[in-house]
Each structure stands twice: as structure tokens, then as C-alpha cells.
Amino acid sequence: MLPQVIIIGRPNVGKSTLFNRLVGKKLALVDDQPGVTRDRRFGDAHLLGLDFQAVDTAGWEDDDPQSLPGRMRAQTEAALTGADVALFVIDARAGITPLDEEIARWLHGSQVPVILLANKAEGRAGESGILESYALGLGDPVPISAEHGEGVADLFEALLPHI
């Protein structure tokens, strides 16, 4: 059985874009409008010689904002069960939001190792978000650009000890 790597984070940070890049097929829908991807998607991923099962999470995008954190939490916790490592994606351009902080708190209570990915870090627009993300207490963020394929080698190095 392949090690399982789960991609989590609030809507619109680039989870499905990362999933598609890792899996190499358009298995997950990506759209400028949040709310396109539903449920969990599984795909066989390959990254510089590492093989694993990638899991894209979603399914809460259409929920009413009041209940969003609760439903996300239930989804995220269900998805974390059985995962070998979690990729927690933030949007480095948007900076840290209250929902990112809340997800980070859930992750602190989880047994699953977490790699913090600061996505949308191409160019300089992500620099302040990268710095802010240290405050999440999840270690050094790995800057990536899922859309442009940057940070792949650093992601590989971060994953290597866990899979």
C-alpha cells in the first residue's frame, strides 16, 4: 500500500492545483470560483522518485459560513485518519487568516506529522505571508507555487522523512 499524503487547508489556497501537479492529471477540478471541488479525491502521485497516494480534500465550500469551521473540522479529522503525513496549505499572498489559525490548532492535536506549505509564493508577493506563517507553530513553512511548479525539491525533502 502506498503511503498516504493528505492535502488540507481552507478553501482557495491551491489544494487542488497542488494535487493535480502531484498526480499529473486533471482529476480534481480547479476553478477561480471557490466551491468547485467536492469531497475527497485520491490519486497516485509521483514526486522526484517518491510514490504515494495523494488525497485532495474539499466538500465544505458551499456551506454557510457560520457552520464552515465545524464541518471543515469534521471532514479534516476524518481525512487525517490513516494519513502518513499532512500537507497544510496556506495562501502566502493572502497571509494568515483566522481559519488558518483554527486549522493549525486542530493539527496541533493530531498525531499526523504536518508539513506547512506556503503556496502562491512565486515572485515576491508571498514574502510577508511566509513570515507570518511561522506564528502557526508548525515549523518552517515550505514556500511553493503549485501553479508554476516551484518548490518541488523542497517539498520532496520535507516529505522524505515521513514516507
- Contact positions vs ligand GDP (CB under 6 A): 9, 11-17, 30-32, 34, 37, 119-120, 122, 145-148
The closest alpha carbon to 57, from 87, 84, 33, belongs to 87
Grid cell digits, residue 29 = 477540478
103/23 Cα distance (integer angstroms): 25
14 vs 141, beta carbon nearer ligand GDP: 14
Residue 12 marked in a binding site: yes
14 vs 129, beta carbon nearer ligand GDP: 14
Q: HSE on the CB side for 145, CA within 13 Å?
A: 13
- Determine, following the binding rule CB under 5 A, whether residue 16 of this chain makes contact with Mg ion: yes
Candidates 4, 7, 13, 37; binder of Mg ion (CB under 5 A) is 37
We find the least distance from the C-beta atom of residue 39 to ligand GDP, in angstroms, to be 12
The β-bridge partners of 89 are 117
- In this structure, are strands 50-57 and 85-91 parallel, antiparallel, or unpaired? unpaired
Place of cell 465550500: 61
Residue 122 marked in a binding site: yes
16 vs 75, beta carbon nearer Mg ion: 16
Grid cell digits, residue 149 = 511548479
Binding site for Mg ion (CB under 5 A): 15-16, 37, 58
Detail the residues annotated as belonging to a binding site for GTP. Answer: 9-16, 56-60, 119-122
Detail the residues annotated as belonging to a binding site. Answer: 9-16, 56-60, 119-122
